[in-house]
Structure 1
Amino acid sequence: MTAQAARSTEQRVADTVRRLEEDVDAWVATASADGEPCMVPLSFLWDGATLLFSTAVNNPTARNLAANGRARVGVGPTRDVVLIECAVQTVPAGDLTDGTKDAFAEKTGFRPGKGYVYFRMTPLWIQAWREANELAGRDLPELTPPR
């Protein structure tokens, strides 16, 4: 496979936003208190600043997210990856507006019910690259809030 020319930062940001708006699923990686890794696919909603996920309240991913408040999220295929380090906030369903729950259900095809909890993930950093020629400049601070 011949590598494509490296994208400009502007194009990489635009492509990343498109992926966050259009993709439905991501890999979510967490760790337990004793360091046991866990990685699962979950559907998400991007609101322009945060990712919203939902999963069963008693599964390992939910326990890890609630306990650690951190996750790493991978969106896209390995040759067009968006990698996001996130701070995580647990959000009970009752704290979300009906509009947000409807938007989540419309995008993901899944309406979480009893026994599920939502997690809002705020990007701490976002990286995007396709090939080795895009490793330099893969950080996209334009898409993360100031710290």
Structure 2
Amino acid sequence: MTITETPRSPEDRKRDVLDRLERETDIWVASADADGVPCLVALWFVWDGEALWMATRPGNPTGRNLRTGRRTRLAFGDTRDVVLIDGDVDVHDREEVPAAAAEAFLAKTGWDPRGDSARYAFYRVSPRSVQAWHEVRELPQRHLMRNGTWLV
């Protein structure tokens, strides 16, 4: 395979990341327990312009890991169009979640975890770092955010 496309600028990659945060419904969520046992699941999410909101059951491995570890790595894409987001996690029980976040989640996914018969919690992920690249040609400028601040 020959790569003929020129690399996107960091500004174009940031714009693409923000578009995906608005457009995509699912994101891969990586977490680990206290012993370092990894867990990887796809969850629905909504982007509020500053953070991602997800919902899962607090007693399942992902819910427990996010609550105790307070960190996660999120991912979009395949191996040729990668977005990685490392973030800090805040947990909100369904009675405590801000109404705007829960309503945005419902509007995007069509599901309101607050009314589900099973118990769900909301997890707010504040990005600390964002990387995005299309294949090896964009690796040198893949970092778009560090320490919670956009670089572009």
Under a length normalisation based on structure 1, what TM-score does the superposition of the two structures give? 0.92
SS of structure 1 residue aligned to 2:95: helix
Q: Deviations over 1:29-62 (max 9, x none)?
A: 0000001000000010001110101001110000
Match of 1:120?
Answer: 124
Q: Deviations over 1:119-139 (max 9, x none)?
A: 000111000001100001100
Q: Deviation at 1:142?
A: 7.9
Cα separation, 1, equivalents of 2:127 and 2:61: 21
Match of 1:131?
Answer: 135
Q: Deviation at 1:101?
A: 1.2
Q: Deviation at 1:106?
A: 1.6
Change (3 A) 1:108 1:143: farther
Partners of 1:23 and 1:76 within 8 A in 2: no
Counterpart residue identity of residue 88, structure 1: V
Q: Deviation at 1:95?
A: 2.1
Match runs of 1:9-28 below 5 Å: 9-28=10-29
What is the number of residues matched between the two proteins? 146
Q: Deviations over 1:85-110 (max 9, x none)?
A: 11101011222233321210121232
Residue ranges of structure 1 left out of the alignment (5+ in a row): none
Q: Deviations over 1:6-46 (max 9, x none)?
A: 00111111011001111010000000000100000001000
Match of 2:105?
Answer: 104
Residue ranges of structure 2 left out of the alignment (5+ in a row): none
Q: Deviations over 1:64-92 (max 9, x none)?
A: 00010000000223221110011101011
Cα separation, 2, equivalents of 1:28 and 1:85: 10
- Cα RMSD for the two superposed structures: 1.7
Q: Deviation at 1:143?
A: 9.7
Counterpart residue identity of residue 97, structure 1: P
Partners of 2:128 and 2:146 within 8 A in 1: no
Match runs of 1:45-124 below 5 Å: 45-112=46-113, 113=116, 114-124=118-128
Change (3 A) 1:111 1:143: farther
Cα separation, 2, equivalents of 1:110 and 1:81: 27
Cα separation, 1, equivalents of 2:15 and 2:97: 28
Partners of 1:28 and 1:73 within 8 A in 2: yes
Partners of 1:125 and 1:141 within 8 A in 2: yes
